[in-house]
């Protein structure tokens, strides 16, 4: 039987955070969401809102006292709040860096002070330009110049990981780092430059699908309920303490092929329009891309048994439905996460 716990979910009004909140409430837990609504939205919590076990606090992880107070009242913390999206990081480098480093430091220190279990969301950006194929957690990080704003996000998340793992080694903080690869699904905003919702919206609207660069960059997309399932499994597993895990599907596609699939599945007549990176980001030097991003998730699978359920076709069809379109084929709606016993 599952013990009912109280979770603090920072960034809980965001895309992944709101799905995690729904799943934790469904398991009978209480959830305190801390979110400044900078990219999140109360509407993401619409299904959870009537639940008396949800408490929403509008505030920032940059407010150390607030983070401390909320952490003291919870059993475990999932830290998802961050300045995200390539566009946002390129356009607001200082604010993004402060949120992603100082905010996380507050969360880690509060978890340490109060002896709370912590799950920290990191990112595949950590690997930078390492395009060597399925990257394991031990793969090298290959980052570009500090003048390229994108790498500041990767660097901030690396600092977060170092702080978290340092607290584990020196103070025994029960912390797990989840390196998330491209996660997609309902409630993901197209506003911060996320590729799938943007291309899906263009396909549904019959507009040209704008593919950045030459479209040969390879990515893997993971459906959000699969990511939430992985996070729940990691929270529940004692072997996850002090460890780093890749979380993502290994089904690869080029962005041009993804755009083609969206056109095909939506029945759209939209052409693809290839846009040079220099035209996408106004300052011309704030952007650099990774040629290939594919995770090796053996470590996660061996510890928790996790495998993603939704494949690329499910994901594309779901994105088109979410963008207001239909699809010619049968849609296998990716299913919700199974219940996983909780642990602190």
Residues 273-292 that bind ligand NAD (CB under 6 A): none
Report the alpha-carbon distance of residue 35 to residue 56 in Å, rounded.
8
Report the alpha-carbon distance of residue 68 to residue 343 in Å, rounded.
21
Q: Does 131 bind ligand NAD (CB under 6 A)?
A: no
Minimum distance, C-beta of residue 231 to ligand NAD, in the bound complex (Å): 10
Alpha helices in the chain (DSSP H): 15-26, 64-72, 86-91, 93-98, 104-114, 150-171, 195-205, 224-236, 255-266, 277-280, 298-304, 312-322
φ/ψ (deg, to 5) at 272: -90, 140
Among 26, 57, 62, 272, binds ligand NAD (CB under 6 A): 62
Helices then strands, counting H and E runs in the chain, come out as 12, 13
* Listed ranges 15-23, 268-276, 301-309, 331-339: which one lies at the site for ligand NAD (CB under 6 A): 15-23
How far from each other are the two terminal CA atoms of the chain, in whole angstroms?
15
Q: For residues 208 and 336, which CB has a smaller minimum distance to ligand NAD in the complex?
A: 336
Task: Confirm whether 153 is a catalytic residue.
Answer: yes
Cα→Cα distances 126→144, 178, 213, Å: 12, 11, 21
Q: Does 177 bind ligand NAD (CB under 6 A)?
A: no
* Listed ranges 9-17, 108-116, 234-242, 289-297: which one lies at the site for ligand NAD (CB under 6 A): 9-17
Minimum distance, C-beta of residue 185 to ligand NAD, in the bound complex (Å): 9
Among 182, 217, 297, 337, binds ligand NAD (CB under 6 A): 182
Report the alpha-carbon distance of residue 135 to residue 142 in Å, rounded.
12
Site map 211..250 versus ligand NAD, x via CB under 6 A: ----------------------------------------
Q: For residues 96 and 270, which CB has a smaller minimum distance to ligand NAD in the complex?
A: 96
Two structure tokens written together for 33: 């969401």
Q: Say which of 153, 212, 223, 281 is annotated catalytic.
A: 153
Q: Does 39 bind ligand NAD (CB under 6 A)?
A: yes
Residues 303-342 that bind ligand NAD (CB under 6 A): none
8 alpha-carbon distance from chain centroid:
17
Asked if 77 and 111 count as a contact pair (C-beta separation under 8 A), the reply is: yes
Q: For residues 168 and 187, which CB has a smaller minimum distance to ligand NAD in the complex?
A: 187
Compute how many other C-beta atoms are within 10 angstroms of the C-beta atom of residue 150. Answer: 22
Place of tokens 């990774």: 290
Q: For residues 40 and 325, which CB has a smaller minimum distance to ligand NAD in the complex?
A: 40
Minimum distance, C-beta of residue 187 to ligand NAD, in the bound complex (Å): 7
Residues binding ligand NAD (CB under 6 A): 10-11, 13-17, 34-40, 60-62, 80-84, 99, 103, 121, 123, 180, 182-183
Active site residues: 153
């Amino acid at each position: 039987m599952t013990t009912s716990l109280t979770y603090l979910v920072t960034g809980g009004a965001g895309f992944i955070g709101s799905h995690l909140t729904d799943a934790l409430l469904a398991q009978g837990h209480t959830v305190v969401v801390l979110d400044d609504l900078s990219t999140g939205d109360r509407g993401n919590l619409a299904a959870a809102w009537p639940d008396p076990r949800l408490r929403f606090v509008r505030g920032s992880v940059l407010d150390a006292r607030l983070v401390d107070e909320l952490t003291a009242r919870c059993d475990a913390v999932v830290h998802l709040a961050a300045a995200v999206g390539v566009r946002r990081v390129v356009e607001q480098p200082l604010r993004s860096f402060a949120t992603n480093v100082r905010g996380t430091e507050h969360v880690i220190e509060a978890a340490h002070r109060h002896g709370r279990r912590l799950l920290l969301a990191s990112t595949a950006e950590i690997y930078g330009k390492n395009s060597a194929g399925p990257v394991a957690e031990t793969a090298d990080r290959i980052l570009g110049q500090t003048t390229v704003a994108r790498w500041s996000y990767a660097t901030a998340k690396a600092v977060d990981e170092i702080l978290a793992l340092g607290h584990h080694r020196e103070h025994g903080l029960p912390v797990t780092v989840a390196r998330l690869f491209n996660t997609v699904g309902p409630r993901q905003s197209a506003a911060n430059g996320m590729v799938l919702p943007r291309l899906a919206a263009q396909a549904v609207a019959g507009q040209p699908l704008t593919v950045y660069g030459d479209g040969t960059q390879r990515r893997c997309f993971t459906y959000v309920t699969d990511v939430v399932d992985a996070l729940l499994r990691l929270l529940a597993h004692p072997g996850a303490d002090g460890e780093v895990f890749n979380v993502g599907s290994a089904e690869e596609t080029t962005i041009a092929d993804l755009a083609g699939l969206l056109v095909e599945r939506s029945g759209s007549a939209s052409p693809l329009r290839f846009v040079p990176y220099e035209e996408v980001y106004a300052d011309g030097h704030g952007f650099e891309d990774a040629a290939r991003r594919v995770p090796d998730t053996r470590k996660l699978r061996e510890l928790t048994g996790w495998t993603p359920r939704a494949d690329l076709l499910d994901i594309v069809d779901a994105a088109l439905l979410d963008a207001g379109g239909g699809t010619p084929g049968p849609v296998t709606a990716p299913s919700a996460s199974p219940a996983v016993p909780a642990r602190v």
